Amino acid sequence: MDNILITGCGGMLGKAAYEVLSKRYNVTATDIDINVQWLSWLDVRDIESWERYFCDRPFTKIFHLAAFTDLEYCEANPDETWRTNALGAENAAIMAKKYGCDLIYISTAGIFTGDGVYNDFDDPTPESIYGRSKYYGEKIAQTVPVHYVFRAGWMMGGGDKDKKFVSLILDQINKGADTIYAVTDKLGTPTYTYDFIENMIRVIDAGYIGVYNQVCGGDCSRYDVAKAIVEILGEDIKVVPVTSDHFKEYTAPRPHSERLVNLKLNSYGLNNMRHWRVCLHEYLKEY
């Protein structure tokens, strides 16, 4: 089996990446936060940290997951965000070119701004520090001869590593909330971690290098997701629709729409991403 290096593997997507990819590759899973025994330490901002791994073994692929994803943190800490999300991606590209590796880069729907539904060829116009830093990563990843860029939407999955919207709703339910407030003025396309990693493998096996939107079927609001969670769990909890102004703590710029469509995956016959409601039901059943 080929040797591969995964960065940022300690988070919710990393959990799925490790479980799926370790079945077909010799995986070296790394993160700056060593929170499980199968992780090794790597600071993607430090090029010498990278070099130590490549001195030890030959890698054929780099799966670059490492990034700051908390929008408020990114706005409050722009230098650290640029170093981690942009310089980290640049270091991954440097190593891929130096050692002849394929580079697989994980991007985000957050690079778009506006009210539309965006396909793979639409021009990104990111406003937030997070979105701008991730878009830079996309561009630098494309300088590697063999590159795959996959754009995710609203991520769900990860179990105890889940820190995103589904986890926030479940936390309120577990604390006995009788009312949950969720916004209707932010639209997106959920993305299940396991479907995301499995479908990445399909594209990589096909050898079709390039940039891909890769999200679950169907789009929705945060309110739709919260209401679906309550219905699936059979909870007697009221879900109240509100606008973003209801949550004063979220100050980072967020687009009205982060809805993606998998135009290229559909065109190549490589879209095995299921509908978000099916994936949510599966995730809640397992979690």
- Give the integer Cα–Cα distance in Å for 81 and 69: 9
**Distance of CA 113 to CAs 36, 126, 136, 183, 246, Å?**
36, 6, 15, 18, 21
Residue 35 pLDDT more than 90? no
pLDDT computed for residue 255 by the predictor: 87
For CA atoms 29, 32, 33, 34, give the dihedral sign: positive
Inter-axis angle of helices 88-99 and 129-141, to 10 degrees?
A: 10
- Give the integer Cα–Cα distance in Å for 89 and 65: 9
Residue 114 pLDDT more than 80? yes
Residue 27 pLDDT more than 90? yes
The pLDDT tens digits of the residues spanning 223-258 come to 999 999 999 999 999 999 999 888 878 888 888 999
Please tell me the pTM assigned to this model: 0.96
pLDDT computed for residue 244 by the predictor: 87
Domains of the chain: 3-161+186-220+252-286 (3.40.50.720)
pLDDT computed for residue 276 by the predictor: 98
pLDDT computed for residue 98 by the predictor: 98
Closest of 135, 60, 71 to residue 105, by C-alpha: 135
Task: pLDDT band for 126, please (50, 70, 90 cuts).
Answer: very high
pLDDT computed for residue 33 by the predictor: 92
Beta bridge partners of 188: 220, 258
- Give the integer Cα–Cα distance in Å for 271 and 195: 10
The set of residues, in sequence order, having a beta carbon less than 8 Å from that of 106 and lying 6+ positions away, is 13, 63, 64, 65, 67, 150, 152
pLDDT computed for residue 246 by the predictor: 83
Residues 269 and 208: beta-carbon distance below 8 Å: no
Structure-token match 């700056």, residue found: 32
Q: How many helices (H) and strands (E) does the chain have?
A: 11, 15
